[in-house]
Amino acid sequence: MTLARRIIPCLDVDGGQVVKGVEFEGLRHMGDPAELAARYNREGADELVVLDISASRDGRATFLDTIRRVAEQLNIPLTAGGGIRTMEDGRAVLRAGADKVTVNTAAVQRPELISELAQQFGSQAVVVSIDVKRTPRSRSWEAYVRGGRDATGLDAAAWAAEAVWRGAGEILLTSIDRDGTCTGFDCELTATMAAAVAVPVIASGGANAFEDFLAVFERGRADAALAASIFHSEIHSIPVLKKFLAERGVPVRLSR
C-alpha cells in the first residue's frame, strides 16, 4: 500500500480558452478546456487544475461555465481557482463541479478567507496557491501575488505554515523563477516547503524533461507535480511519463 505521487495537468484559461503563459506573461492559445480535460482523464492524469488567469470579474460567468464543461469530462478530482476572493466565490466554483478551490492573492490580503473556506467545505477542499521567487539569501523564497507581479514581503515557508494552520489542505507551490522556462522544478524549494508543512505539497513551475519529475519526487519530496504546456503541446504523454517514473521506483497510479 503506497500513496501514489500525483501528476496534475493544469489548464490556464482565459475567456473560455486554454492559454499558456511564459513567466506569467505572453499568452498563447492551447485549445479547448473540455477537450483537453477529456484527453487527460483518459490518459491517466491523477487530477486536473483549472485556473482563471483573466483576473477580470466580468469573466466570472465564463469561467464557471468552463468549470462545468470540464467537470463533465472527468472522473478524477478537479481543482479550480483564480480570482477567488470570498467564500461565495469558492462556493460557486465548487457548485460548478470542482472538488477543491484554490486561493492565492485574496488569501494573502485576508488570511481569514482560508479558515472560512476550510470550516465551510473542509480542509481537503482548500488548496492555497503560493507563487514564489528566490531571495538573495540561501534557501529562502518570497511569496508574490497578482500573478507574480507584486512582492508581499512574506517568507514563503512561513506563509505556507500559516496557511496550513488556518486550514489549507494542500499547498500548490509555483516557482516564478522557473515557470515556463523548461529548466526543471526548483527541488530545493519543494523540499524546504515539504519539510515546513504537514500537508501535501504540489510542485509547479519549470517542468520539462521526465528527469525533472523524477527529481522533484525524489530530491524535492513533492507529493504531486503540476505542469501545463508540456502536456498540452504533447511534448510528453502522461502514460509514458508515469511508466518512466514507475520503472525508477516512484509509486504512481498506472492506468490500465
Query: With respect to another protein, which residue has the nearer C-beta, 109 or 124?
Result: 124
Secondary structure (DSSP) of 99-133: SEEEE-HHHHH-THHHHHHHHHH-GGGEEEEEEEE
Query: With respect to another protein, which residue has the nearer C-beta, 78 or 108?
Result: 78
Instruction: Quote the CA–CA distance of 4 and 21 in Å, as a whole number.
Output: 29
Query: With respect to another protein, which residue has the nearer C-beta, 130 or 224?
Result: 224
| From 52, 89, 99, 131, active-site residue | 131
Is there binding between residue 198 and another protein (CB under 8 A)? Answer: yes
Give min distance, CB of 120 to another protein, in A.
8
Distances (CA, A) of 101 to 46, 93, 181, 244: 16, 7, 26, 30
Query: With respect to another protein, which residue has the nearer C-beta, 54 or 129?
Result: 129
Query: With respect to another protein, which residue has the nearer C-beta, 109 or 255?
Result: 255
Is there binding between residue 71 and another protein (CB under 8 A)? Answer: yes
Q: Among 4, 27, 161, 250, which residue sits at the site for another protein (rule: CB under 8 A)?
A: 4
240: helix, strand or coil: helix
Query: With respect to another protein, which residue has the nearer C-beta, 14 or 99?
Result: 99
Give min distance, CB of 80 to another protein, in A.
13
Do the strands 170-175 and 126-134 form a parallel or antiparallel pair, or are they unpaired? parallel
12 classed as catalytic: yes
Nearest residue to 194 via CA among 154, 164, 226, 167: 164
Is there binding between residue 1 and another protein (CB under 8 A)? Answer: yes
Secondary structure (DSSP) of 155-217: EHHHHHHHHHHTT-SEEEEEETTTTTT-S---HHHHHHHHHH-SS-EEEES---SHHHHHHHH
Instruction: Quote the CA–CA distance of 217 and 66 in Å, as a whole number.
Output: 31
Do the strands 150-155 and 141-145 form a parallel or antiparallel pair, or are they unpaired? antiparallel
Instruction: Quote the CA–CA distance of 192 and 109 in Å, as a whole number.
Output: 24
Please choose, out of 41-49, 58-66, 150-158, 180-188, the segment that lies near another protein by the rule CB under 8 A: 41-49
Give min distance, CB of 174 to another protein, in A.
18
Instruction: Quote the CA–CA distance of 246 and 211 in Å, as a whole number.
Output: 12
Give min distance, CB of 1 to another protein, in A.
5
Report which DSSP code applies to 24.
T
131 classed as catalytic: yes
Contact pattern from residue 84 through residue 103 relative to another protein, giving x for each residue in contact according to CB under 8 A and a dash for the rest: ----------xx-x-x----
The H or E element containing residue 11 is strand 6-14
Q: Among 56, 109, 119, 135, which residue sits at the site for another protein (rule: CB under 8 A)?
A: 119
Scan residues 170-189 and list those touching another protein (CB under 8 A): 170
For another protein, the binding residues (CB under 8 A) are 1-4, 6, 41, 44, 46-47, 71-72, 75-77, 94-95, 97, 99, 119-125, 169-170, 198-200, 223-224, 253, 255-256
Catalytic residues: 12, 131
